């Protein structure tokens, strides 16, 4: 067999400033590669492109609000998937869970909006959307707990069932037959201090703190990490793994339900099949890049939303196809994913290794 | 009815390419959720190569080159995506689900960019892929079902049969399955786990890319207007539906094709209920998934280390 002239070992946890430095280096490298790609594809000066990116995200107070709002929604969905991920339950179904709870919210707004008093309506909206999210999340969890059915594939399929439900709803209940439901802002969540997104942001900040406490400080949070680390250990110390799986997915689904409520009740006031717009999948990256820690996830979700908002500004400013934003986001995420390796491992050459031994 | 069957076959083969590619990848223990992106990139590369060739050759385009060049370009594009995936997951040990999802974002972006920049100008090239045996029309329903297809349809079936043979009957296939079931044991037996995973992922992605090409050039006749990622997710579903067997997938893909287009052929159902019919492929997949896990038969299970990275140092 060929002799390896290098060797990979797990390193001690890095000092925080070093790990920040590695990540920053990865982002700089990613921006350089993206700059080359942009120049090849479009012939534009990449620095002008990046300047327009920053202006797209921070250029006016409207843009900043929209940046914060999008960060809040993405963060909310990421918080929802995190308990499940910590348990190594790969919930790829946040897209569907959020969409179906958005549908429940829409239905309540549409059919009960005029007949119920406003405070009762808000409670019914909350209950309906949480219930819908929980149902969508618990079905795969139940089968996982009972028969170890593969949850990644199950939750992926549930997304499309949810999308078709929404498509059916729009065609069946929209009277005009256009399949587009007119927004119903009069039945939406209350507007605070004249800022329509403020309530969403406050709710998500509160949820971030709650999820942090739930995961780090409670017995249930501890049980989740034990099941995630080793199912056998969990069984040995008397944790009922099936119960933990189903209970955690109830939490996960309920948070997705709140995300659906914020998205439909607090933002769009209507629904379409693309309301969630891939955030259910982006949330998986946010949660993983943030190491399942709600505080880091604030930063990762902000970074991703900044990239997306900025890139969409680039495509308007330079008349480029909007798809360029997906390409740049993809490249940057590749680098961020790749740099995790250098945070966790170090490469020793054969010579070095001898000295270490 | 005949038209329905023929359409099901033509659409089904796009699924078949995708699911054969994903099966090979999954047998090595890689759950590549980037297949939708891979199919998008494959289709973009193939269509673009065809466009370049046709504008270069003009009226003298020859059938062999007009088919061969896009197929090679597609497979190269797919393999490059596979290379990115395996570099991140094998060499840099990244999480497979996350990497796969980023691959999808990236791939969909690339193909959307291509459509927006070049416009849907691929219908010219499509005739090379849909032209069939000249005598098919004389043979009635038999010719219509079996001989009226373009080259990609037959290629899909051949690749599925060959993969099925390689996976079950050869030493290479046995080693590959060992890597997917238990990489530590395979490593101890002297199998190079990283090399098998790299190879299986790249070959799998090259094949899956052809699914995108087949969908655009054959099924849509080159009229590329909407995104192919939904086809990619269904291809992943088909892998489960056919319990990781490419030979079963030949029939499975036609069933999926039929379920997918059934809504537009069924008469006497309201416009809205058709959306419920489109749910069928996904619901059927869920039922199969649940059923196989409850029966718990050993040969119908996913590869045991599916989705898990293997680090020799962490045994």
Query: Distance (Å, rounded) from C-alpha B105 to C-alpha A323?
Result: 10
3 state DSSP class of A192: strand
Helices (H) and strands (E) in chain A, counts: 14, 2
> Which of A72, A70, A35, A37 has its CA nearest to residue A50?
A35
Q: Is A164 on the interface with B (CB under 8 A)?
A: yes
Higher pLDDT among residues A74 and B148, named by residue: A74
**Residue to substitute from B40, B233, B275, B306, interface A, most A β-carbons within 10 A:** B275
The position carrying tokens 């056998």 is A232
Question: Rounded distance, CA B264 to CA B277, Å?
Answer: 9
Q: Is B308 on the interface with A (CB under 8 A)?
A: no
Comparing CB atoms, the residue among A171, A334, A338 nearest residue B275 is A171
- Residue B32 clears pLDDT 90, i.e. is over it: no
> DSSP character for A189?
P
pLDDT digits (tens, 9 = 90+) for B191-226: 888 899 999 999 999 999 999 888 888 887 777 666
Domain-located, residue A97: yes
- In this structure, the answer to whether residues A35 and A123 fall within a common structural domain is no
DSSP tag of A195: B
Residue A49: inside a domain: no
Q: Rounded mean pLDDT of A97-116? A: 88
DSSP class per residue in B54-74: HHHHGGG--HHHHHHHHHHHH
Residues 102-161 of A with CB under 8 A from B: 143, 147-150, 152-154, 156-158, 160-161
Least-confidence region, from A169-183, A199-213, A314-328, B117-131:
B117-131
Testing the interface with A: which of B30, B102, B294 to mutate, by most A Cβ within 10 A? B102
Q: Let me know whether A33 and A148 are in one domain.
A: no
A111 and A33 housed in the same domain = no
> Rounded to 5 degrees, what are φ and ψ at B124?
-65, -45
Residue numbers of the domain that contains A344:
1-44+322-357
Confidence (pLDDT) at B119? 62
pLDDT surpasses 70 at B133:
no
With H, G, I as helix, E, B as strand and everything else as coil, classify residue B310. Answer: coil
Q: What's the domain count of chain B?
A: 1
First-residue to last-residue Cα distance in chain B: 56
Same structural domain for residues A183 and A161? yes
Pairing of strands A6-10, A345-349: antiparallel
Of residues A61 and B272, more confidently modeled:
A61
Residue in A with minimal Cα distance to B278: A164
- 8 Å CB contact between A338 and A344: no
Burial B189-199, CB ≥16 within 10 A → b, else e: eebebeebbbb
Nearest Cα residue to A174 out of A96, A107, A100: A107
**Which of A157, A281, A289 has the CB atom closest to B285's CB atom?**
A157
Integer-rounded Cα Rg, in Å, for chain A is 23
Same domain assignment for residues A354 and A279? no
Q: B12-30, pLDDT tens digit by residue?
A: 888 999 999 999 999 888 8
pLDDT at A71 over 70: yes
pLDDT higher at A64 or B310: A64
Domain count, chain A: 2
- In chain A, which residues have their Cβ closer than 8 Å to the Cβ of B91? 341
Tell me, yes or no, whether A121 and A91 share the same domain: yes
Position B269 scores a pLDDT of 67
Q: What is the reported pLDDT for A1?
A: 42
Q: Do A161 and B282 touch (CB under 8 A)?
A: yes
Query: What local confidence, expressed as pLDDT, does residue A351 receive?
Result: 57
Answer yes or no: is A57 within a domain.
no
Q: What is the dihedral of CA B27, B33, B35, B37, to 10 degrees?
A: -160
Asked whether the predicted pLDDT for residue A292 surpasses 60, the reply is yes
Q: Band the pLDDT of B314: cuts 50, 70, 90.
A: low
User: In this structure, are A217 and A341 located in the same domain?
Assistant: no
Please report whether residue A51 resides in a domain.
Answer: no
Q: Is A231 on the interface with B (CB under 8 A)?
A: no
State whether residue A9 is helix, strand or coil: strand
Of A7-21, A212-226, A322-336, B92-106, the poorest mean pLDDT is in A7-21
Q: Picking from A153-167, A173-187, A256-270, B148-162, which range would have the lowest pLDDT averaged per residue?
A: A173-187
CATH number of the domain where residue B112 is located:
1.10.3470
- Tens of pLDDT, residue by residue over A194-233, are 777 888 888 889 999 999 999 888 888 888 888 888 878 8
pLDDT for residue B305 is more than 80: no
Domain that holds residue B39: 2-314
Identify the pLDDT of residue A145.
Answer: 87
> Would A50 be classed as within a structural domain?
no
* Domain shared by A175 and A192, yes or no: yes
Identify the CATH number of the domain in which residue A277 sits.
1.10.3470
Residue with the bigger pLDDT between B265 and B194: it is B194
DSSP A59-76: SSHHHHHHHHHHHHHHHH
Judge whether A180 is closer than 8 Å to chain B, CB to CB: no
Q: What is the ipTM of this complex?
A: 0.81
Mind telling me how many Å the CA of B84 is from chain A's nearest CA?
A: 9
> How far off is chain A from B262, nearest CA to CA, in Å?
15
Instruction: Render pLDDT for B145-157 as a digit per residue (tens, 0 to 9).
Output: 666 677 888 888 8
- Which residues on A lie below 8 Å from B302 (Cβ)? 150
Q: Which of A244-253, B104-113, B213-222 has the lowest mean pLDDT?
A: B213-222
């Amino acid at each position: 067999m060929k002799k390896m002239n290098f060797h990979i070992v797990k390193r001690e946890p890095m000092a925080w400033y070093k790990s920040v430095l590695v990540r920053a280096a990865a982002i700089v490298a990613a921006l350089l590669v993206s700059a080359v790609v942009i120049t090849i594809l479009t012939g534009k000066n990449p620095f002008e492109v990046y300047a327009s990116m920053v202006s797209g995200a921070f250029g006016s107070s409207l843009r900043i609000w929209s940046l914060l709002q999008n960060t809040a929604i993405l963060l909310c969905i990421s918080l929802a998937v995190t308990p499940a991920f910590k348990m190594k339950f790969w919930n790829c179904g946040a897209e569907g869970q959020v969409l179906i709870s958005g549908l429940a919210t829409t239905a309540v707004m549409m059919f009960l909006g005029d007949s119920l008093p406003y405070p009762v309506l808000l409670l019914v909206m909350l209950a309906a959307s949480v219930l819908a999210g929980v149902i969508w999340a618990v079905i795969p969890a139940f089968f996982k707990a009972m028969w170890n059915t593969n949850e990644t594939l199950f939750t992926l399929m549930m997304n499309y069932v949810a999308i078709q439900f929404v498509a059916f709803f729009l065609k069946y209940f929209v009277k005009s037959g256009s399949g587009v439901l007119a927004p119903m802002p009069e039945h939406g969540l209350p507007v605070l201090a004249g800022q329509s997104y403020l309530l969403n942001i406050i709710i998500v900040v509160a949820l971030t703190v709650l999820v942090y406490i739930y995961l780090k400080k409670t017995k249930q949070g501890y049980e989740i990490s034990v099941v995630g680390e080793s199912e056998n250990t969990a069984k040995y110390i008397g944790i009922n793994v099936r119960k933990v799986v189903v209970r955690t997915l109830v939490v996960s689904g309920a948070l997705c339900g709140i995300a659906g409520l914020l998205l439909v009740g607090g933002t769009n006031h209507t629904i379409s099949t693309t309301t969630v717009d891939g955030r259910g999948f982006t949330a998986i990256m946010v949660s993983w890049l943030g190491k399942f820690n709600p505080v880091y996830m604030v930063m990762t979700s902000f970074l991703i939303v900044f990239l997306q908002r900025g890139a969409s500004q680039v495509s308007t400013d330079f008349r480029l196809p909007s798809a360029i934003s997906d390409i740049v986001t993809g490249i940057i995420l590749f680098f961020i994913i790749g740099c995790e390796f250098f945070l966790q491992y170090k490469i020793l050459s054969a010579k070095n290794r001898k000295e270490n031994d | 009815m005949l038209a329905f069957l023929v359409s099901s076959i033509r659409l089904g083969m796009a699924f078949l390419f995708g699911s054969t590619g994903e099966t090979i990848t999954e047998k090595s223990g890689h759950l590549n959720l980037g297949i939708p992106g891979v199919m998008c990139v494959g289709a973009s590369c193939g269509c673009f190569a065809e466009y370049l060739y046709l504008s270069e050759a003009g009226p003298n385009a020859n059938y062999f080159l007009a088919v061969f060049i896009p197929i090679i370009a597609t497979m190269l594009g797919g393999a490059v995506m596979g290379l990115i995936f395996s570099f991140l997951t094998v060499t840099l040990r990244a999480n497979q689900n996350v990497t796969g999802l980023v691959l999808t974002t990236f791939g969909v972006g690339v193909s959307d960019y291509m459509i927006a920049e070049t416009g849907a100008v691929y219908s010219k090239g499509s005739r090379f892929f849909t032209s069939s045996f000249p005598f098919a029309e004389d043979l009635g329903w038999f010719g219509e079902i079996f001989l009226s297809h373009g080259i990609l349809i037959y290629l899909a079936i051949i690749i599925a049969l060959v993969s099925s043979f390689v996976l079950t009957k050869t030493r290479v296939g046995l080693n590959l399955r060992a890597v997917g079931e238990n990489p530590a044991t395979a490593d101890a037996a002297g199998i190079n786990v990283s090399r098998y995973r790299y190879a299986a992922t790249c070959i799998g992605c090259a094949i899956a890319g052809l699914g995108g090409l087949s969908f655009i050039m054959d099924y849509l006749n080159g009229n590329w207007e909407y995104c192919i990622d939904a086809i990619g997710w269904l291809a992943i579903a088909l892998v489960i539906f056919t319990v990781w067997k490419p030979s079963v997938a030949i029939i499975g893909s036609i069933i999926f094709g039929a379920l997918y287009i059934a809504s537009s052929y069924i008469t006497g159902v309201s416009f809205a209920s058709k959306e419920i019919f489109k749910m069928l492929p996904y619901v059927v997949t869920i039922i199969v998934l649940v059923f196989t896990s409850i029966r718990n038969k050993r040969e119908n299970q996913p590869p045991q280390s599916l989705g898990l990275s293997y680090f020799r140092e962490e045994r």
